[in-house]
Amino acid sequence: MSLFADHIARLQAELPALPAAQALREGGLADLRRTGLPGRKVEAWKFTSLQPVEKRGWRLAANGAAPFAAPLPEGVRLVPIAKALAEQGEALAKALVPAGHDAADALVALNAALLSDGWLLDVAPGVALPKPIHLDLRNDDAEGLANITCLLRLGEGASAALFESHEGGGFSNSRIKIELAPGAKLFHARLQRHSAEAYHAGLTEARLGANAEYRHVSLMLGGAIARHELAVTLAGEGAQLDAQGLSLASGKAHLDHTLRLAHEAAGCASNQLFKNVVDDHGHAVFQGRIRVAPGAQQTDAQQLCRTLLLSDDAAIDTKPELEILADDVKCSHGATVGDLDANMLFYLRARGIDAALARRLLLEGFAAEILEAIPQGDLRLPFIAALEDWFAT
């Protein structure tokens, strides 16, 4: 473990000087030395190992991460995180300090240790962005480690849509922190389609004020090992979360969707629907933990995971968890695993559709429910293209 931390220390020396980030970098490296990257002995990582990452001599990726947006209206600021730290100093650095993390979150420490690249988005109260902002967080360096930190803050009553995409190779480690003031609304679509040899670790943290709404859709279909962790805190009364995701794992891909959801206020609602299609020697993971705090009465928390295993060597690990410390709640979780419906296949074949096309139609129907959570238009097109590419192969 210390060898990997020593390597990260050498990479730190190549980063541009950023005084406001120095304490975060030093703290991140210290945490990484203490914990190392998580392995299967850490409960939250029992199904996913990052051991192959530790064995590689990564260099800093010449990262091409950039946002694409139409002209931004007054009250919206989108700037590189390094520039924002130079301007705002300790106040912004304090907002990026990891909170409530433990040894399972060593990737947060790694992210802090190499803090340099990323973006700050501030949306003033009451402002509505007319078009989505696209954060293109690609890594085009097969031997490079791309480390991205983004902070998104929406003021009271503001609204926005965000498209976050990850492509390329190498090792990508991203942290997206979201703060929604009371009444703010954010739609967040996330597409991860790295190459088959790539490694990916992503953390999305969201904190929702009263009556804030956060809708999240995630599609993962690339990478040797890829994990996205979604950690959401419903901190204000009446906050709402809708989180949906789809993993398409083929070849030897290992794709992990992990959720940590905290209901801390009364009258909040959350809905989670995650699906997996696993073929060849692919492996999918779904972990979903919901905690309802004392006093979070009238909580409505629903969770469902559905998986199709298309080969004898395909595998899925599911781990739903509920911790309920309030007595006036409506909570449920469930998981199903199976193959394509034989009766539906027979029905299609009986109408002259060949076996390959019949299977594809059923798979597309299985995925469509997640796709439909993305508004029609330009935002949905890259997801349709990614699905078509996967199904075609």
pLDDT at 190 (0 to 100): 98
Specify the residue for token string 């220390």: 9
- Predicted pLDDT of residue 393: 78
Distance, CA of 220 to CA of 228 (rounded, Å): 9
For residue 255 the two structure tokens come to 């794709």
Residues 6 or more apart in contact with residue 248 via CB below 8 angstroms: 219, 220, 221, 255, 276, 277, 367, 387, 390
Dist CA 123 CA 159 (whole Å):
8
Distance of CA 292 to the CA centre of its chain: 22
- What pLDDT is recorded for position 38? 84
For position 100, what pLDDT does the model report? Answer: 55
CB count within 10 Å of CB 187 equals 20
**DSSP label at residue 90:** H
Please report the beta strands in 209-298, taking only residues with DSSP state E, as ranges in sequence order.
Answer: 213-220, 225-234, 240-249, 254-263, 269-278, 283-292
Q: Quick one: which of 160, 165, 177 has its CA closest to 135?
A: 165
> What pLDDT, on the 0 to 100 scale, is given for residue 89?
86
Beta-strand relationship, 171-180 and 76-80? unpaired
**pTM of this prediction?**
0.94
Residues of the chain short of pLDDT 70, as ranges, are: 1, 63-66, 68-70, 99-104
**According to the model, what pLDDT value does residue 103 have?**
46
Q: Are strands 76-80 and 117-123 parallel, antiparallel or unpaired?
A: antiparallel
**Tokens linked to 146:** 């791309």
Per-residue pLDDT at 298? 97
